[in-house]
């Protein structure tokens, strides 16, 4: 999972002035889906700040899926040659 964020997230402060502990908090939810990860961080961030952000904040979570490439079949790359031969990779 790739998690991108703006400085408004990591510079968010609680009422006593403490920064949001982004690394520690986000690490708790890395085994969840990107949507769930963002939901947890958003909820936790707002709880940390007392429900109000003083700066804009943006988060994007992306996870690579393992969809097979159309030219791969069982570990082989299919080359469209004259005879349609397959070469192992």
Kindly state the greatest CA–CA separation across the chain: 72
| Model pTM score | 0.70
Q: What pLDDT was estimated at residue 73?
A: 58
Q: What pLDDT was estimated at residue 17?
A: 95
Successive 10-residue mean pLDDT values, the chain, 89 residues: 94 96 93 95 96 93 80 60 51
Whose tokens are 């961080």? That residue is: 41
Q: What pLDDT was estimated at residue 79?
A: 62
Burial class (CB in 10 A: 0-12, 13-18, 19+), 73: exposed
Q: What pLDDT was estimated at residue 47?
A: 97
Q: What pLDDT was estimated at residue 89?
A: 47
Domain locations in the chain as residue ranges: 2-66
């Amino acid at each position: 999972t790739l998690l991108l964020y703006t400085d408004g997230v990591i510079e968010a402060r609680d009422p006593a002035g403490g920064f949001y502990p982004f690394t520690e908090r986000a690490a708790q939810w890395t085994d969840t889906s990107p949507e769930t990860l963002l939901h947890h961080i958003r909820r936790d961030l707002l709880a940390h700040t007392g429900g109000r952000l003083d700066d804009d904040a943006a988060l994007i979570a992306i996870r690579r899926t393992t969809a097979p490439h159309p030219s791969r079949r069982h570990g082989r790359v299919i080359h469209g040659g004259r005879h349609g031969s397959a070469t192992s990779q």
